[in-house]
Chain A
Amino acid sequence: MLFVTRRLLAACGVILGTITLVFFILYWLPGDPAALIAGDDASVAMVANIRAKLGTTAPLWQQYITYLVHLAHGDFGTSFTTNEPVWHRLAAQLPATLQLTFCASLVALTLGLTFGMLAAVNRDGWLDHFLQTLSMFFTSMPSFWMGLLLILIFSVGLRWLPAVGSGSFRQVILPALCLGLNVSAWLSGMVRNSVIEVLEEPFITTLRGKGLRERQILATHVLRNALIPLVTMFGLLAGELISSTVVVETIFARQGLGRLLVESVGVKDIPVVMGVTIFASGVFVLINLLVDLSYLWIDPRIKA
């Protein structure tokens, strides 16, 4: 229990640190949000009007304290650009992001684990070489290019799946493949190495000596031992999946937090950037907390 408490406290520290860092970076970046909102065609007077309305004229430390106080009351503020509550803007994009991240993780885990295991078991065989080549291919293929290929084949060529939009399950298949294939290629390499390492351990020889069947050894002994580094990697992967969605979202014309974040940074919609940052760091911290906790279950030797 102490372990969990300690981790939770650390998590809060990480999030607060992120908030502070991002807040000050945003304000130090050149560019006046009021001028951006006013646009190219605005007069100087109009920019002044907007600045007064946004409250960006107060001293920075005061704005920071105000922000934290509001946050403590659960108020994420109002978007500079649409005047909607930040929470609404996040909520509008969230389902599409969760759907994409979940489906992409599913693709990545299924393919990554399967191909990694197959390659490791057939180490240096033709299947191993084939899978390694394939994995190199998918790792080095940039997602914008992969996305276009998928659209050309499955939407324009075969007309099986829609090219654009978000919402339905059919619309998430291509983006999830686009994002997931890349990660799975990378994951399968990790799985392969990790499994090979475990297979070389003396206790496997012992198990074989005891006459256990290979399949049994793999399923119950190898996989569990190979899992620890993989679970750690998956925690980091979650961050990768959250942050790398923007390209895929743009190509497939999907909604998503990635696009919201990139666009908001561009126009200095500070409350929205803060909102996405807090949310993303929260999810990242939570996943890694779960990862830490899962060690206890995977390897009882790790003591809380």
Chain B
Amino acid sequence: MGFQAVTTRRQFAGLLAGSVLGLAQRGHAAEPQAAASGGSGVLQVGFDGAAVVRFVLDPHNSLFAPHNRVLRSIFDNLVVLQADQSLAPWLATAWEISPDRTAYTFSLRRDVVFHDGTVFDAAAVKANFDRLAAPGTVLYARAEIGPYASAEVLAADRVRIHLHRPFEPLLRNLSSTKLAIVSPTAVAKYGDVFGQNPVGTGPFRFTGLTQGTEIRLERNPAYHWAPPTAGHSGPAYVEKLIFKNVPEQATRVAALQSGQVQVADLIPSQYLAAVKADPDLHLLQKELLNTNYALSLNAQRAPWDDEEIRRAVRLSLDIGAIVRVVYLGTTPRAWSPLSPSLFASAEKELTGSWKPDVKAAAAILDRKGWVAGADGVRVKDGKRLTISFIDTQGNREQRLDVIQLVRRQLAHIGIGFSIDSQPAGAYLQKIAEGDFDLAAGAQFADDPDVLRRYYVPAARTVGAGIRVNDPELSGWLEQAAEESDVTKRAALYIKAQHRIIDKEYAIPVYVLLYNLATSNGVTGITIDTHGFPIFHDARLVTS
């Protein structure tokens, strides 16, 4: 209860601050742009790094999206994902795949150097793969290279990656920050604290950090190997790039409006209208490639193991209305497990595939013997029909607001609801033990193979709040990971997504849009296909 009270208070403060901001702004519209951006060539970015005090800037060991957004400026990849979801050369100039799909041969650029002066070559690529695959590894990105067997240096600029069996997600995974190329020399030098001393080949090099509050980068003057998706190939235009962690959303917007930062990301929906209307600010928005935020009932625990009961829950929910109310029309509603732009997303096919129907839901529950008890909650054999929702993230992206409306809608039909709010540790333990009725989440994804790590029990990751054992679904997902024919592969994923929705394994809620607002003095910032900000083409315009 206390937790909810805090949520509402915070929200109230946010809304009120929003209206005050609106008023305060008008006073300044005429004021000349503060000298904050100046001609100094320092670009300051206020980002939502959450109340996290440790920055881990090791691409192979950071699952945390805000840190990956910073990493993007320090590191490059072998390949780049283009807007049409196809892959283009970056540090690798070309690649060939053996007929049996278990050997990938990459030709590499010969003119690339790491920030520490060491040369990027085939041995460096091999070292990156071997680092991930080392026995006893504790690196998150291990799963991204799948059935990796070994790497073979063919020449200084040619390397061959051998796999135990075909793994079609590999190239797409190689375009993600999780498999960015790190300096093997720096890894050897810094060991466990490489995450605090990142060295890559990117347009900006790391100069220092203040744990929890600030990450400082400066232009890499040698840079001339930007990917084809970039606006120019040479060194970045701004001299210094400073990331400031401003976890409180109202403060982040205030820091932008006061000119203390020139860029602020993840502007919450209640400020979006004000930001769009402000002539001094500019808004960029793009879908983050991920699994859509979705609710998942524990399909291995009674009574939710009954498909019809799960259907009754879904029929009771008007997801469209919830998303409109909570996100004020700024966020699209989701229909499929995978975000719309991701390869093989079934968003189009699934749009409009089901409708809320409270009467039908009630009919199912009546038929199954769940009848209304004294307090309105349905009862069967002395057991109450209640959902315990497990949560650890609080109201990030206003997710608890969504859950509160879910609770209200379920109450109408006679399903009780409680929020089991846990610290991260206890949360993971309960998830691992399957001790929950309902869980929810989203995870950034480079390839639909992410579904395999959710729905195939043997491949399931520790924190996946999904309890489904559907051998047929598992079969399709495992087959898809090895299917070389793109059309067939996509068809398998489409089929899998239909199954996930048809069986109510997941109820998708919203599509996450990544956004950032910039003051007018800044141009050239873009958001890449994955949904990560690119500062390489950014310029400070001095008037």
- Compute how far the CA of A254 lies from the CA of B255 in the bound complex, rounded to whole angstroms: 13
With contact pairs A165-B214, A253-B244, A263-B51 given, residues A82 and B425 touching in the complex (Cβ less than 8 Å): no
A155 touches B424 (CB 8 A): no
- Compute how far the CA of A156 lies from the CA of B250 in the bound complex, rounded to whole angstroms: 11
Nearest CB in chain A: distance from B131 CB, A: 14
- Compute how far the CA of A144 lies from the CA of B10 in the bound complex, rounded to whole angstroms: 8
- Compute how far the CA of A49 lies from the CA of B135 in the bound complex, rounded to whole angstroms: 9
- Compute how far the CA of A30 lies from the CA of B435 in the bound complex, rounded to whole angstroms: 13
Stretch at the interface among B13-21, B396-404, B470-478: B13-21
Interface hits, B197-222 → A, CB 8 Å:
210-214
Is A152 in the interface zone, CB < 8 Å from B?
yes
Nearest CB in chain A: distance from B518 CB, A: 17
Nearest CB in chain B: distance from A66 CB, A: 20
B138 touches A37 (CB 8 A): yes
Of the candidates B34, B56, B244, which one forms a contact with A164 in the assembled complex, judged by CB atoms under 8 Å apart? B244
A163 touches B443 (CB 8 A): no
Interface hits, B155-212 → A, CB 8 Å:
191-193, 195-196, 210-212
Is B279 in the interface zone, CB < 8 Å from A?
no
A148 touches B13 (CB 8 A): yes
B53 touches A93 (CB 8 A): yes
Nearest CB in chain A: distance from B504 CB, A: 22
A152 touches B54 (CB 8 A): no
**CB-CB < 8 A to B261: which residues of A?**
164
Stretch at the interface among B111-119, B294-302, B380-388, B456-464: B456-464
Stretch at the interface among A206-214, A235-243, A264-272: A264-272
B140 touches A255 (CB 8 A): no
Interface size class of B (residues with CB under 8 A): 35 or more
Name the CB-closest residue of A to B209.
A92
Is B143 in the interface zone, CB < 8 Å from A?
yes
A250 touches B247 (CB 8 A): yes
**CB-CB < 8 A to B17: which residues of A?**
148, 152
With contact pairs A144-B13, A159-B34, A159-B258 given, residues A262 and B213 touching in the complex (Cβ less than 8 Å): no
A89 touches B462 (CB 8 A): no
Of the candidates B13, B27, B211, B428, which one forms a contact with A93 in the assembled complex, judged by CB atoms under 8 Å apart? B211
B51 touches A35 (CB 8 A): no
With contact pairs A30-B426, A82-B54 given, residues A155 and B260 touching in the complex (Cβ less than 8 Å): yes
A155 touches B143 (CB 8 A): no
Is B94 in the interface zone, CB < 8 Å from A?
no
Is A17 in the interface zone, CB < 8 Å from B?
no
Is A43 in the interface zone, CB < 8 Å from B?
yes
Nearest CB in chain A: distance from B149 CB, A: 17
A165 touches B213 (CB 8 A): yes
**CB-CB < 8 A to A33: which residues of B?**
425
Interface hits, A165-212 → B, CB 8 Å:
165-167
Is B254 in the interface zone, CB < 8 Å from A?
yes
**CB-CB < 8 A to A167: which residues of B?**
210
With contact pairs A49-B138, A253-B213, A259-B53 given, residues A155 and B423 touching in the complex (Cβ less than 8 Å): no
A142 touches B260 (CB 8 A): no
Interface hits, A34-84 → B, CB 8 Å:
35-44, 46-47, 49-50, 52-53, 79, 81-84
Cβ contacts B110-151/A at 8 Å (1 or 0 each): 000000000000000000000000001110101100000000
A260 touches B443 (CB 8 A): no
Is A157 in the interface zone, CB < 8 Å from B?
yes
A259 touches B142 (CB 8 A): no
B246 touches A253 (CB 8 A): yes
Is A230 in the interface zone, CB < 8 Å from B?
no
Name the CB-closest residue of A to B441.
A40
Is B24 in the interface zone, CB < 8 Å from A?
yes
- Compute how far the CA of A263 lies from the CA of B53 in the bound complex, rounded to whole angstroms: 7
Of the candidates A40, A81, A263, which one forms a contact with B443 in the assembled complex, judged by CB atoms under 8 Å apart? A40
- Compute how far the CA of A83 lies from the CA of B212 in the bound complex, rounded to whole angstroms: 15
B192 touches A83 (CB 8 A): yes
Is A31 in the interface zone, CB < 8 Å from B?
yes
Nearest CB in chain A: distance from B418 CB, A: 18
- Compute how far the CA of A43 lies from the CA of B464 in the bound complex, rounded to whole angstroms: 10
- Compute how far the CA of A118 lies from the CA of B197 in the bound complex, rounded to whole angstroms: 55
Is A24 in the interface zone, CB < 8 Å from B?
no
B424 touches A31 (CB 8 A): yes
Name the CB-closest residue of B to A142.
B9
B143 touches A41 (CB 8 A): yes
Of the candidates A92, A260, A266, which one forms a contact with B423 in the assembled complex, judged by CB atoms under 8 Å apart? A266
A41 touches B54 (CB 8 A): no
B251 touches A164 (CB 8 A): yes
- Compute how far the CA of A102 lies from the CA of B23 in the bound complex, rounded to whole angstroms: 34
A40 touches B213 (CB 8 A): no
Is B248 in the interface zone, CB < 8 Å from A?
yes
Is A162 in the interface zone, CB < 8 Å from B?
yes
The 7 A-B residue pairs with the shortest CB-CB distance in the complex, in nearest-first order: A31-B425, A40-B463, A83-B192, A30-B426, A253-B246, A155-B258, A163-B255
Please, could you name 12 A-B residue pairs with CB atoms under 8 Å apart, sorted by A?
Answer: A36-B425, A36-B428, A40-B63, A41-B140, A53-B136, A84-B196, A152-B24, A162-B258, A163-B258, A251-B248, A251-B251, A259-B51
